[in-house]
Structure 1
């Protein structure tokens, strides 16, 4: 009987524990794959996919190389730093070995030896050392929360970085261009919030165009040129208060890093009518060299007509009774 019980118990243990062991092996493999992918994606300049490997806040420690203390960074901030330099090299190669990962529930860690080589013309710089990573599991996805590099050996001159950064700035990668595109849109909308017309006017390209296909009768559906757009928005500071356009701003990237579709909610008190303008917007923006060249604006004309007194109930945007 005891043998039968023991056999049954062993069968139970095998049935219960084997799936858990397999799951842990899969998590270890996932973490090791991420560690190997960091260098590969960086060498290929694929910063968009690389950014997705990091948690919303990551501790970055390169103190053994730079002498600077560890910092907490956003994934976008970290990618911006790397994208401002790495694409300027003729070639980089991060060669990893001895990758080892461990999993403890929702937490993970990994170490790896690395040889990082950088070429630019006849210049060459190489570092050897060891990486240590920390991970957390977010709904089944392992994300990097901490990354530490320990320098062991260095070859060549760090003077290579100056020319590399110049080369990267002359031909910025897509992630940098996308950031410039988003920044131009944020500048425009925050300028309206702050009633800072210098910010608003400064964001337009000389030949900028704004399309407003749903503008109600009597309001333009197209405004062309920087001067025309400056005039179009000139009355905003006197006619609006308590504006909010960026609290719910969402961007949708396109294949072209200079083109982005944005959604946002608008709230503003309209002074001449005493009404609150609540709106949901969609906007297609084409940004060239940090300036908005095209803004195609989509909104509900009924909400516009109510807020600005075009419904015949109370006054009008011009303060008429």
Structure 2
């Protein structure tokens, strides 16, 4: 059985393959980025199919998106809390998306029941904003 730490590692490693990443979630599993609402983005996906679509839409915007520098801060077999980073080019703006995520993963029966991530919405907005020149 996969514990919470193994599931988070597997998710982070497979993020560039939306189907593989989504397959780690339970049928009622949830990927939640609640702070995206401030950017006008629905940051909640439920179920592997919806999660796969959410991840795929992210990769369209940031093809080189990949997590790195994972630091586990709290760990039990059922839950982990970790920080991890992304640094990737946003082709539509030519800017680098630099982000520190904080994620809490809850595992149930070897699958992800909940992955809730927090991020810096100002950094996200800046990376995706098109800069206009005079």
User: Who wins on radius of gyration, i.e. which is larger?
Assistant: 1
Tell me: CA distance 1:231–1:249, structure 2 relative to 1, closer, same or farther (3 Å).
same
Q: What is the CA-CA distance between 1:226 and the residue it aligns to?
A: 2.1
4+ residue segments displaced more than 3 Å: 241-244
Q: What is the CA-CA distance between 1:286 and the residue it aligns to?
A: 0.4
Q: Which has the higher contact order (CA 8 A, sep 6+)?
A: 2
**Superposition map of 1:257-272 within 5 A:** 257-272=77-92
Give deviations 1:19-49, integer Å, cap 9, x for gaps: xxxxxxxxxxxxxxxxxxxxxxxxxxxxxxx
DSSP-derived class of the 1:185 partner: helix
Q: What is the CA-CA distance between 1:290 and the residue it aligns to?
A: 2.5
Task: Provide structure 2 residue ranges, at least 5 long, that are not aligned to the other structure.
Answer: none
Give deviations 1:210-247, integer Å, cap 9, x for gaps: 2223213310142222222122112234332433412x
**How many matched pairs?**
131
Give deviations 1:86-114, integer Å, cap 9, x for gaps: xxxxxxxxxxxxxxxxxxxxxxxxxxxxx
Specify the alignment match of 1:199 in structure 2.
Answer: 20
Normalising by structure 2, what TM-score? 0.83
Say if 2:117 is the partner of 1:297: yes
**Superposition map of 1:1-321 within 5 A:** 180-192=3-15, 195-215=16-36, 216-246=38-68, 248-254=69-75, 256-309=76-129, 313=131
Task: Provide structure 1 residue ranges, at least 5 long, that are not aligned to the other structure.
Answer: 1-176, 315-321
Q: What is the CA-CA distance between 1:200 and the residue it aligns to?
A: 1.2
Does the CA-based 8 Å contact 2:31-2:45 persist in structure 1? yes
Normalising by structure 1, what TM-score? 0.38
Does the CA-based 8 Å contact 2:93-2:131 persist in structure 1? no
Aligned-residue Cα RMSD (Å) equals: 2.1
Higher helix proportion: 1
Distance in 1, Cα, partners of 2:51 & 2:61: 17
Distance in 2, Cα, partners of 1:244 & 1:235: 14
Give deviations 1:54-88, integer Å, cap 9, x for gaps: xxxxxxxxxxxxxxxxxxxxxxxxxxxxxxxxxxx
